[in-house]
Amino acid sequence: MTHSSQSDEFYPVGGLNTVSYDLRADLDRKIFEDPIPFYSDLAQRLVGPTGDPVLELGCGTGRISAAIAEKGIPVEGLDLSNAMLDQARDKYPDLTWHHGNMCDFDLGREFGLIIIPFRGLQEVTDADDQRRVLERAFAHLKPGGVIALDLIDPDLRYCLPEGDPEVVELPLLPMPEGVGQPGSHLRITAMERTNDPLTQQFKEHWRFEEIGADGATLRREDAWHYLRWVHRSEMRLMLELSGFVSITEFSDFKGNPPRYATNQVWIAKRPD
């Protein structure tokens, strides 16, 4: 018998997407460019073990913060999802985790480096709110502090009003330890996507299924992921309006120059 559910919350407590997030992220790192060395090396270069702490906005399960902490650098994470923070606190109990909205947080202190990895700014689906994120980051940086973030550079062929009906099934993944029936696997399917070019928002339909050893579907969950694409010129303007200077942009985590429909990797500074 299949248990089926659907949710507008993309990371619900106990959901298949939430408990398997790190598995899918590891798959992404194998298929695409791995951002973790970029952010951990940047932290080591800019602040180091004896410098000001690092703050990760949209920290999720804490994987990047943990990689930075392994270099002896003080780091803290902030996320809106209690479900994701529960995993971060369980896996990395020695680090400091904050529950909060990156649009309006106030930690009452300054940091030497603030990072927003894994396209976290695009999870904020309102243009004004994206500006607020950058302004709050600016307010939490010490003079001369740095912000670094990455985004998807939109391929406009896939941003049209008709969306994208294509269905893509990821390779079967093992179920996380302690989740599901023995011998079962996780099947993740990217379903249709709808676009709103006016607001630059898109909605992705994802399906998560526990597949038993006999191939039967034991559990099915449908969730919708909301994102907002940002053009390069728009991103630069938002950083400038938020007060940042020395703005540098790349197309990847190796420092290559901007290129259409790849990644946007940004580094900017709060004035001294």
| pLDDT at 30 (0 to 100) | 75
> Is residue 1 predicted with pLDDT exceeding 60?
no
Tell me: do 265 and 194 sit in the same domain: no
Is 151's pLDDT higher than 80? yes
pLDDT higher than 90, residue 4: no
On whether both 44 and 148 belong to a single domain, the answer is: yes
Separation of alpha carbons 45 and 36, rounded Å: 14
Mean pLDDT of 20-31: 81
pLDDT band at residue 31, thresholds of 50, 70 and 90?
confident
52 and 133 belong to one structural domain: yes
Mean pLDDT along residues 47-76: 94
Do both 87 and 50 map to the same domain? yes
Quote the Cα angle for 37-230-237, to 5°.
Answer: 95
Assign 7 a pLDDT band (cuts: 50, 70, 90). low
Which residue range is the domain that position 83 belongs to?
Answer: 33-153+230-269
Please check the confidence at residue 136 and state whether its pLDDT lies above 60. yes
Same domain, 260 and 209: no
- Give the pLDDT score at 5: 62
Span of 147-151, 174-178, 198-202 with lowest mean pLDDT = 174-178
**Residues 118, 50 share a domain:** yes
Tell me the pLDDT tens digit for each residue of 179-229. 888 889 999 999 999 999 999 999 999 999 999 999 999 999 999 999 999
Nearest to 270 by CA among 137, 120, 115, 149: 137
Q: Which long-range contacts (CB under 8 A, 24 or more apart) does 62-67 make?
A: 62/87, 62/88, 62/91, 62/92, 62/95, 62/97, 63/22, 63/25, 63/36, 64/35, 64/36, 64/39, 64/40, 64/115, 64/117, 64/118, 65/92, 65/95, 66/91, 66/92, 66/95, 67/36, 67/39, 67/40
* Together in a domain, 44 and 62: yes
**106 and 47 in one domain?**
yes
Based on the domain organization, do 91 and 142 belong to the same domain?
Answer: yes
Counted domains in the chain: 2
Per-residue pLDDT at 27: 76
Q: Are 15 and 223 in contact (CB under 8 A)?
A: yes
For residue 132, the domain's CATH number is 3.40.50.150
Shared domain check, 170 and 117: no
For helices 127-140 and 232-241, what crossing angle results, to 10°? 50
pLDDT over threshold 60, residue 137: yes
pLDDT band for 248, please (50, 70, 90 cuts).
Answer: very high
Q: What integer pLDDT is reported at residue 65 of this predicted model?
A: 98
What mean pLDDT is predicted for residues 144-150? 98
Mean pLDDT value of segment 245-263? 97
Same domain, 67 and 129: yes
Percent of the chain residues past pLDDT 70, beyond the cut:
97
Average pLDDT over residues 3-25: 79
| Same domain (yes/no): 66, 173 | no
- Cβ–Cβ under 8 Å, residues 125 and 101: no
Q: Quickly state the pLDDT bin for 140 (edges 50, 70, 90).
A: very high
Note the pLDDT of residue 2: 58
Q: What confidence tens digit (pLDDT) does each residue in 81-127 have?
A: 999 999 999 999 999 999 999 999 999 999 999 999 999 999 999 99
In contact, 222 and 214? CB cutoff 8 Å: no
Give residue 49's pLDDT: 82
